[in-house]
Structure 1
């Protein structure tokens, strides 16, 4: 009987390994950038076309490779980062996955150019689907250039599973930002489809963060610094008033390597306790330095998760450091036991004696004795003066009182008008209006009586449905009304958010937004939709970008649908808002005038009907 188990060919094994190592173009970007950093380069360029599907090229001025190393680096389990198993627990480099370049070469067209500083000529290597096409000598600058073209050209199924260019480019930007923030001493440049996206010269941490996320980021940052035997901390935390709904600007770096850690994130959130609005997330950029032997970074294929030896101590140190920084820079409230300078004695009264009040007492005064009232000058209404002598005593208060009471006590005949008695206090129309009156329950539901029972409407979901259909109609017909602003608004966003705004500009203008300027880091808004107040404009834009950060639909209808849903969610009346009776009536009428009043834009029911028979059954028990 023949054997049914056999070894796979190398090119098939490499393609299988590529499924774990290379998930999307961003995986290639991460591998090549980390290799360039490990090559001790101080100038790195990233060139991307069609969100990495057509080209991902990384050019560095590092140490370069010899002709032998240039060919050997594409072999499986070949690496210059480690020599034995013990090196895995004392790593000072980035990438050390021996199958990374081999997997990339198995599913793409690879062109590599490299030259060492002590060599006159370099090596030009071309590989297509794990097959070496050519290796020639060439005149090249010092360093290495990797050009990865036509990713997944020989695996069409994997290429079809890639997302839209917007989504894939967003993942590439994430990887580029993480490497650039971890190494501010390196000059990074990024180009996409021929346009320069980033040009980040060598700088410090604060300048690198501001260069990536925009100039307005500087005023949001609070520095963090702490050094202990376990860990050394530095970085920045965002002020609570600049918190957002999404987690886009939250970064942990351990030994210059980006990581994700829910445990450390919880420590930071504990430091912000009581300072954030419900549902908001703070920004933070925290860099940790720990001994390499105290962590294990080989527990995840992408090396974004780390296991620490003493997580509890790290949690306590991180929480205390962030809380101390927020209090030190007067971001969080603190108890101040110092004296108040406003209570000090003014300088002009410092050497003066206090003036004691004097009291005069008339020992002969008798409140029950007869008192002779002195003559007083009185002014008549005409303006002339006259004198009057008056003697008063307490008995004079009751003079004539008996006569007045007798006069009041005399019987007086009283007559009343006859009034026609009606059968009901209210008219029939008023009674009907009382029966159909709406009520707001717990500032969440609107109860409306009907003939068969009652309708209970969820006010937030109902308003979402009304606004959603209004925005969708405006964008479809392209006749949205806009309110012009007397003073235009300047809104600042990061580079990624600005790219989304440029792509969404036509759809946003159809809703009523008017953009007079769109610059590299901010937009000038001169008009808003009628439903959007000036104070809500920035909130609506931030939530819209947050909802679309995972990708913008390619079709125009899907874009309009996503924008209408996001804006309806942001502008809808929230649970807990008190509505007047007229507002309740308008909301209910607007809901049942919609095309689909039964469900909200997110597929949840907007109202329920409770019949009288259902209520009777509850009492029949």
Structure 2
């Protein structure tokens, strides 16, 4: 029997390694940006076409490479950052494995131009599928320029698994934002299909956050700073009032490397306890500086997970620092002690000049034992003269009060009446539930979840028919989104219009909303807040629930525009809500799958009262 184990060819081995390192265009963007940072660049330009599928180009002014280094960087495990195993625990650079360039070159057409600052001529190398096709001297600027074309051109199965351009572009934006946040002292720019998405000048961290996410973030940020013998912590947290429904604006950096850490995330979230609803997440951009020997970054292919030597202490420090910042900057809800909170603030008093001195009117003919018909109680009472001696024929008149029909009291005011209707009468319980009597007992309906179900099914019809009606706003509202959300909104614009929004692009990362769906009613609507909640809810449904675009949009708008618990409803409103609920295809369950209707039978009530 012949031997069957053999070494893989380098080209095959590189393609296999590329599956771990380069999973999508955003992975290549991350590796190239980090290489530019490690090269000491303070100006980095990123150009992508077709969401990175056709072209990813990085241009930096870093240290550049010699001819030998330029050729060597495409070899597997070729690196300038690690020489011995001990170096792994003293790493402060972004890259160190020497896998990225070899992996990218194995699955794409790559061209690199590079020149050191002290050299007059640079080097140009072209590689296709791990094979060098050209190498020659070239006149180029100091630094490095790398162009990656036709990613996964030789692995069509991998290319077929790529998502749509908007989805892939959002992943690129995520990676770009993480690197840009970690290095506010570096100029970054991003162009997609000839359109400038970002132009980020050098500055401090707060300026970088504002440039990335929008000018309105300037007032939302609260600084965090803590120095200990274990870690140094600095950064910003968002005020609780501006928390969102998704975790898209939460960033941890350890030694300037972006990481994902649920344990540390819990430390920050617990510092906000009782300040946020359960389904809201605060913004934070936090940097941890720690001795590299106390962590291990070599535990995940993407280097986004880290092991710590003293995890519990770091947790306690972070929670304490965030809590201290919340208290120091008074962003927790507080009482306003500058305002007098006496009864004068609660009761509207008449002006002093309107006060009339009390007067006493005396009526000598008044008899307290004789009363007229009461207009307040609704009961009719007969006048009786207690001074006269009752005769036998008058004894019956003493019982007139109980023999006359009782008139139902409708109001304590004479000019108010109750409209009688043949519709079923409902009762609202604590402005949260609608209660009605049924044959078997009681029916209790959650008003918020019922309205969500009604709107959800209605919005699905609009998305299918493309005929959502719009009510025009008196004053159109402009909405400025961060680049990621703006790209998402653009990709959803046709569907959003189908729901009934009258919205269009209005400049860089800006939309103008001129109308909202008629289904939302005529009450005052904050178009900006509603639209932001629509985008946030859509992202949440896509990321966590993996719903279709159609379902995610309808679900998000329904949940954010439905009447809330605590809203008082009139009888007619309750009648309409119940009628529309039972006209739904699935009236018994909310869009989240929770029950909308509960019944309490007479038998259950009898059992509560211990009746046999």
TM-score when normalising by structure 1: 0.79
Residue 312 of structure 2: aligned partner: 312
Aligned to 1:197: 197
Asked whether 1:209 is paired with 2:209, we answer yes
The separation in 1 between residues aligned to 2:175 and 2:96, in whole angstroms, is 17
Report Cα offsets for 1:11-70 as digits up to 9, x if no partner.
111111111111111110010000011011111111111111111111111111111111
1: CA distance, partners of 2:114 / 2:66: 8
Structure 1 SS opposite 2:387: helix
- Greater mean alpha carbon deviation, residues 122-131 or residues 539-548: 539-548
Q: Which runs of 5+ in 2 are unaligned?
A: 341-360, 369-384, 409-420
- In structure 2, the CA distance between the partners of 1:311 and 1:538, relative to structure 1 (3 Å rule), is same
Q: Distance in 1 between matches of 2:339 and 2:459?
A: 56
Q: CA deviation at 1:214?
A: 0.7
Match of 1:468 among 451, 456, 479: 456
Secondary structure (helix, strand or coil) at the match of 1:566 reads helix
Contact 1:436 1:450 in 2 (8 A): no
Q: Considering only aligned residues, what root-mean-square deviation do their CA atoms show, in Å?
A: 3.8
Distance apart, 1:613 and its partner CA? 11
SS in 2 for 1:5: coil
Q: Out of 117-126 and 524-533, give the one that drifted further.
A: 524-533
Partner of 1:126: 126
Q: Which runs of 5 or more structure 1 residues have no equivalent in the other structure?
A: 343-380, 382-396, 427-432
User: Which residue does 2:390 correspond to in 1?
Assistant: 411
- The aligned residue for residue 257 of structure 2 is 257
The aligned length equals: 549
Does the CA contact (< 8 Å) of 2:246 and 2:540 recur in 1? no
Aligned partner of residue 145 in structure 1, secondary structure: strand
Q: CA deviation at 1:480?
A: 3.5
Task: Tell me, in whole angstroms, the C-alpha distance in 2 between the residues paired with 1:221 and 1:514.
Answer: 32
Shift of residue 198, structure 1, vs aligned partner: 0.5
Within a 5 Å distance, the mapping from 1:159-178 to structure 2 comes to 159-178=159-178
Q: TM-score, normalised by structure 2?
A: 0.80
Q: Does 1:483 align with 2:471?
A: yes
503-512 or 571-580, larger mean C-alpha shift = 571-580
Q: 1:593 aligns with which of 583, 593, 604?
A: 583
Other structure's SS at 2:70 match: helix
Q: Could you give the per-residue CA deviations for residues 565-613 of structure 1, whole angstroms, max 9, x where no partner exists? A: 2111222244565654433332221123235546555566655789999
The residue matched to 1:408 in structure 2 has which SS?
A: coil
2:70 aligned with 1:31: no
Matched with 1:233 is: 233
Q: Which moved more, 1:115-124 or 1:85-94?
A: 115-124
How does 1:200-599 map onto structure 2 within 5 Å? 200-332=200-332, 408=387, 410-411=389-390, 414=394, 438=426, 457=445, 459-515=447-503, 518-532=506-520, 533-549=523-539, 559-574=549-564, 579-595=569-585, 597=587
Change (3 A) 1:611 1:329: closer
SS in 2 for 1:140: coil
Contact 1:517 1:525 in 2 (8 A): no
Say if 1:507 and 1:559, in contact at 8 Å, map to a contact too.
Answer: no
Distance 2:49 2:452 in 1: 39
- Give the 3 Å change call, closer, same or farther, for CA 465–202 of structure 1 in structure 2: same
**Within 2, Cα distance between the matches of 1:309 and 1:254?**
13
| Cα shift readout 1:416-458 (whole Å, capped 9, x = no counterpart) | 5999x99xx99xxxxxx99965566787665656668876655
Structure 2 CA distance for aligned equivalents of residues 334 and 486 of structure 1: 35
Measured at CA, do residues 166 and 550 of structure 1 come closer, stay the same or move farther in structure 2, by a change above 3 Å? farther
Q: Give how far 1:512 is off.
A: 2.8
Tell me how far apart the structure 2 counterparts of residues 341 and 513 of structure 1 sit (CA, whole Å): 41
Residue 71 (structure 1) shift: 1.3
103-112 vs 449-458, which moves further: 449-458
Greater mean deviation of Cα atoms: 276-285 or 183-192? 276-285
> Could you tell me whether the CA contact under 8 Å between 2:113 and 2:124 is conserved in 1?
yes
Give the deviation of 1:459 after TM superposition: 4.1
Secondary structure of the equivalent of 1:134? Answer: strand
CA distance in 1, matches of 2:331, 2:91: 38
- Would the aligned equivalents of 1:436 and 1:449 in 2 still touch at CA under 8 Å? no
- Relative to structure 1, is the Cα distance of residues 616 and 327 closer, same or farther in structure 2, using a 3 angstrom cutoff? closer
Contact 1:47 1:190 in 2 (8 A): yes
**CA distance in structure 2 between the partners assigned to 1:306 and 1:132 by the alignment:** 36
Q: Distance in 2 between matches of 1:333 and 1:485?
A: 32
| Number of the residue aligned with 1:42 | 42
Shift of 1:515: 3.4
Q: 1:504 to 1:261 in 2, by over 3 A?
A: same
Relative to structure 2, which stretch is displaced further, 43-52 or 230-239?
Answer: 230-239
Structure ID, larger Rg:
1
1:68 alignment partner, SS class: helix
8 A Cα contact 2:124 2:136, kept in partner: yes
For the Cα contact (< 8 Å) 1:167–1:550, is it kept in 2?
no
In 1, Cα distance between equivalents of 2:254 and 2:31: 18
Structure 1 Cα separation of the partners of residues 606 and 390 of structure 2: 59
Q: Distance in 2 between the 1:286 and 1:407 partners?
A: 87
Mean Cα displacement is larger for which, 300-309 or 88-97?
Answer: 300-309
Q: Summarize the Cα distance change of 1:73–1:452 in structure 2 as closer, same or farther, 3 Å threshold.
A: same
Preserved CA contact (<8 Å) 2:541 2:552: no
Moved more, 171-180 or 299-308: 299-308
**Whole-Å Cα distance in 1 between the matches of residues 240 and 446 of structure 2?**
31
Q: How many Å apart are 1:620 and its aligned residue? A: 13
3-state SS, counterpart of residue 98 of structure 2: coil
